[in-house]
Amino acid sequence: MKLRSWMYLIPIITVMFLAIASASAAHGDVMKWVVGGVQREAIVFAPSKKTSSGKAPLVFAFHGHGDNMTNFSEGVEIQTAWPEAIVVYMQGLPTNASTEPEGFGWIYQTGPNGERDLGFFDAVLETMRAKFQVDNRRIYATGFSNGGMFTYVLWGTRENTFAAFAAVAGRIVPAVHLTEPKPVLVIAGEHDTTVPFRDQLQAIKVVRQLNGSDRDGSSCGQNCTMYPSDKGAPVMTYIHGGGHEYPLGASEMIVKFFEDHSLQP
C-alpha cells in the first residue's frame, strides 16, 4: 500500500492546550482541541478488547506529508491489528499554508516558533490519560515519511513518555538529537527516492550506536533483522525492495514489536 506523502520544513508558532470537543466518525471519534488559537483534530479509536489489567496501551500514529488522519487510519488500520490498544491518528496542519494549503504535515524544529505539533501531542496525551485508563508503561509512536520523521522528534523531546518507536520511510533530521536508548523498528525501502534510502540507513546507524546495538544482527524473518542491545533497547529493521511506501503487513509487524516492549517500573 502506498500513502500520500512528502516533506516540508518551516518555522511556526508555539503551542498551548486550550479546549476539547468530540464527534463520531467511522468507528473512531474525531476529537478537537484548540492549541495556540488553532483548532486541531485527531481520530481516536477506543479499545475494542480489554486487557487483563484493565489498562490499555496507547499508540500515536502520524501520517505523511500531504496525507490526512482519515486516509491514514483507513490505510494502515493499527486499531484492527491491536484491538486492545487506544490508537490516535493525529491530523497535521499545512507546513506552508501560503503555497500549499493542503500540504498537511509535521514540524521538525524545536524552540520558539517551532513546537506547534509537540504542543498538540502534549494536549492529546493529557486528554487520553483523562478519558481512558492508559497504561503509562505502554505508550508508543509510529509514523510514515514526514510522520516517521516526527516520530524521531518525539524520541528526541519526549523520550521518557514512550516505551518504543516505529518509523516507516523516515529519516532523522538535523534538528533532532537522540540521547535516550529506546527500542525501535525501522522500515525502509531500498528504492525510496522521496526519503533517500541512504538517509534511512544513516538513521539506522545512529539508533544502533545509541542503543548499543553494534553487534551483528540475527534474522527475524524475510528482510527482517534484529540487533540486540546492551542497553535493553533492541533495533529491528525491515528492509523491503520497494520505494516510498507503507508495505503490506507493516502494521502487524509494528504492533508485534510494540507488544514486546514496555517501560520498566
pLDDT tens digit sequence for 30-54 = 999 999 899 999 999 999 999 999 9
Q: Are strands 184-189 and 235-240 parallel, antiparallel or unpaired?
A: parallel
Region 90-112 average pLDDT: 77
* Phi (first) and psi of residue 153, to 5 degrees: -60, -45
204-256, pLDDT tens digit by residue?
999 999 999 988 999 999 999 999 999 999 999 999 999 999 999 999 999 99
Nearest to 147 by CA among 62, 250, 251: 62
Mean pLDDT of the chain: 88
Residue 264 pLDDT grade (very low, low, confident, very high; cuts 50, 70, 90)? confident
Terminal C-alpha separation, the chain: 38
**DSSP track, 27-91:** TEEEEEEEETTEEEEEEEE--SS--TTS-EEEEEEEPPTT--HHHHHHHH-HHHH-TTSEEEEE-
- Is 80:89 a contact under the CB 8 Å cutoff? no
Please tell me the predicted confidence (pLDDT) of residue 110: 57
- Is 106:150 a contact under the CB 8 Å cutoff? yes
Please tell me the predicted confidence (pLDDT) of residue 66: 94
Q: For the chain, what percent of residues have pLDDT higher than 70?
A: 86
Which CATH fold would you assign to the domain 17-259?
Rossmann fold (3.40.50)
Radius of gyration, alpha carbons of the chain? 17
Please tell me the predicted confidence (pLDDT) of residue 115: 86
C-alpha dist (Å) from residue 190 to 109, 160, 199, 200, 213: 27, 32, 11, 9, 22
Region 157-180 average pLDDT: 96
Burial tier of 82 (Cβ tally within 10 Å: 0-12, 13-18, 19+):
buried
On whether the pTM is more than 0.85, the answer is yes
CB atoms within 10 A of CB 111: 9
Q: How far apart are CA 60 and CA 44, in angstroms?
A: 9
Among all chains, which residue has been given the C-alpha cell 524552540? 111
177-188, pLDDT tens digit by residue?
999 999 999 999
Region 63-90 average pLDDT: 97
Burial tier of 72 (Cβ tally within 10 Å: 0-12, 13-18, 19+):
buried
Cell of 248: 503490506
Please tell me the predicted confidence (pLDDT) of residue 140: 98
Please tell me the predicted confidence (pLDDT) of residue 27: 76
Residue 141 pLDDT grade (very low, low, confident, very high; cuts 50, 70, 90)? very high
Name the helix (H) or strand (E) containing 133.
none
Among 8-12, 144-148, 153-157, 248-252, which is the least confidently predicted range? 8-12
C-alpha dist (Å) from residue 259 to 142, 217, 256: 13, 20, 5
Cell of 128: 487520553
Q: Where are the beta strands (DSSP E) in the chain?
A: 17-25, 28-35, 38-45, 56-62, 86-90, 93-96, 100-105, 134-144, 164-168, 184-189, 218-221, 224-227, 235-240
Region 158-181 average pLDDT: 96
